[in-house]
Amino acid sequence: MAINRQHGQEHPYWPAGPFKIRLPFIHCRWEFPEMIQGFVMFVVGLAMIPLLQKYLGMPYEAALAFTFIAGVGYILPAILGVPMVPGWITPAIPVVILFLSGYEPGPEAIKALFALQIEVFAIFLILGLTGWGSKLVSVIPNSLKAGIIIGAGIAAMMGELKAGGRIDNTPVSLIAGSIVAAYILFSLSFKNVLESSALARKISNFGMVPGMVIAMIVGWIIGEYPLPDIQWGITQPDFGLMSEYLVFTVGFPDLDMFLLAIPTALIAYVIAFGDILVGRTLLERVDQVREDEKIEINVDRVHVVTAIRNLLHAFLAPWPGLSGPLFTAVHATVAERYAMGRKAMDSIYSGAGTFWVAGMMALFCLPLVSMFKPVLPIALSLTLVLTAYICIMVGMEQLHNSAERGVAGIVAVTLAMPDPKSTVYAIVIGVALYFLIERPRLMGAHKEEDEVIFADPQTDKEVNE
């Protein structure tokens, strides 16, 4: 039985330095809808296996062991006092893949990914401990931030649309799943249906799950994916084999790898900070609705916990998705259900905690793992397609004038190029264009109101856009 919370107070916890420990069943109620989501959406974690096999040269059994390390990382935030559902830095995956494509799969790629993940760890830790995170991102030009986010979305989408990509090989199942998931998550018409349909509200509780289920069923029916060979028992990841793909065995990277990884690490952080802002906005919105619980949103703690997860991965399971603060689609679903009241969800921590604890349990369930094994590409593809939509949407919302939109567009296109050095080019071009195009004065300070001035062709007068 979970510890009871007094009305209007913060949810009970055990203090532990900068963290606030909340354990399932002791502090937090078990939430059935999030459990069901976890039993299905854990397949997104398994969807990293094809990337581990392709870019790190790992066998399936070792990659499966990596997913268990990831599972440990997923459950840490809710336990340590972060009210967000964690995930990968998903929009950065195409950028990370471009970085890894410059190295031979195997030891060299593992070293490069270790260097990248250690740098991401260091960025999160330093900015979290010092509180500099928000200050740093405020210094980055708005057009560069938006361009990076949009470019990551374009790269994610182009990876699916290119010749030989998954949408080329399995078009029907992927398109069907994407349409269903996008309609449930983003459609204005579906939001109108929610007001009058109890069934629609129940479906919306499960976020991406309906789209993924439709994609898998369609893929099996029309033969785009083979039927699963369902096995019974408990999964047996090969941790001994996994150790052969860690830096303790393959060796540590040299200085050049660390230097080459810096632009990708910075881009990953900028994208991840955008996720923090999205997650915080969602929490602030539902915090106003639920007067029975006070939600503490500590950005510094989010940084530190994310740093710990990236450190865990760097040494024990280098991860192309990196460790990010937010699984956007699931967090949005949890927040929406939380807003329905205490009977629907006792605490934001009970929803976020139940989801990944259930997902961790599912990783040990061989029938589930074997059933989803043939369709792992669908889970990754749906995640990337929906991420592309969200990135482009959020990136465009951040742009305030024509100059910013133009610079962001160039940065986005440059970043999406299939070149391992495109991240470096995008940052250099973005900074150069910011000074040449956006600033009223090339050098020195300028007032906020001195934004780019345009001439109105009708009145021939200068107007401030």
Residues 214 and 251 in one domain: no
Give the domain-ending residue among 328, 347, 377: 377
Pairing of strands 19-21, 453-455: unpaired
Domain boundaries, position 200: 171-224
Residues 215 and 258 in one domain: no
Could you tell me the CA-to-CA distances from 280 to 83, 125, 276, 339, 416 in Å, in that order? Answer: 9, 19, 6, 15, 28
Residues 22 and 131 in one domain: yes
Residues 302 and 178 in one domain: no
Helix (H, G, I), strand (E, B) or coil at 454: strand
Q: Is residue 420, in this structure, part of any structural domain at all?
A: no
**Residue 256 — φ and ψ, nearest 5°?**
-60, -40
Give the domain-ending residue among 377, 397, 421: 377
Residues 198 and 242 in one domain: no
Q: Is residue 397, in this structure, part of any structural domain at all?
A: no
What is the pLDDT averaged over residues 37-66? 88
**Tokens at residue 255, please?**
């200085």
Quote the pLDDT of residue 442: 62
Report residue 465's pLDDT band, with 50, 70 and 90 as the boundaries: very low
Taking a C-beta distance cutoff of 8 angstroms, is the pair 365, 46 a contact? no
Residues 216 and 296 in one domain: no
Residues 192 and 245 in one domain: no
What is the pLDDT averaged over residues 16-35? 88
Give the domain-ending residue among 224, 247, 268: 224
Q: What angle do CA 210, 216, 222 make, to 5 degrees?
A: 130
Q: Is the pLDDT of residue 238 over 90?
A: no
Q: Is residue 1, in this structure, part of any structural domain at all?
A: no
Rg (Cα) of the chain, in Å, rounded?
A: 22
Q: Is residue 457, in this structure, part of any structural domain at all?
A: no
Report residue 137's pLDDT band, with 50, 70 and 90 as the boundaries: low
What is the pLDDT averaged over residues 34-38? 87
Q: Is residue 315, in this structure, part of any structural domain at all?
A: yes
Q: At what angle do helices 60-80 and 348-363 cross, to 10 degrees?
A: 160
Taking a C-beta distance cutoff of 8 angstroms, is the pair 167, 175 a contact? yes
Taking a C-beta distance cutoff of 8 angstroms, is the pair 123, 269 a contact? yes
DSSP 295-357: PP--HHHHHHHHHHHHHHHHHH---TT--BS--HHHHHHHHHHHTT-TTT-S-HHHHHHHHHH
**Tokens at residue 174, please?**
């992927």
Q: Is the pLDDT of residue 14 over 70?
A: yes
Q: Is the pLDDT of residue 286 over 80?
A: yes
Amino acid residing at 117 = Q
Quote the pLDDT of residue 145: 80
**Tokens at residue 234, please?**
């408990």
Q: What angle do CA 449, 452, 457 make, to 5 degrees?
A: 115
**Number of domains making up the chain:** 2
Q: Is residue 424, in this structure, part of any structural domain at all?
A: no
Quote the pLDDT of residue 165: 67
Residues 186 and 321 in one domain: no
Quote the pLDDT of residue 447: 54
Residues 211 and 84 in one domain: no
Residues 218 and 74 in one domain: no
Residues 92 and 234 in one domain: yes
Q: At what angle do helices 142-161 and 255-289 cross, to 10 degrees?
A: 100
User: Residue holding tokens 């050095």?
Assistant: 421
Q: Is residue 196, in this structure, part of any structural domain at all?
A: yes
User: Which pTM was predicted?
Assistant: 0.79
Quote the pLDDT of residue 453: 38
Pick from 227-236, 391-400, 453-462: least confident: 453-462
Q: What is the mean pLDDT of the chain?
A: 84
d(CA 85, CA 358): 13
Taking a C-beta distance cutoff of 8 angstroms, is the pair 455, 462 a contact? yes
pLDDT tens digits, one per residue of 398-456:
788 888 889 999 989 888 887 766 777 888 888 898 888 887 776 665 554 444 434 44
Report the percentage of the chain scoring pLDDT > 90: 26
d(CA 381, CA 399): 28
Residues 266 and 353 in one domain: yes
DSSP 2-45: PPP--TTBPPP-EEETTEEE--BTTTB---HHHHHHHHHHHHHH
Q: Is residue 443, in this structure, part of any structural domain at all?
A: no
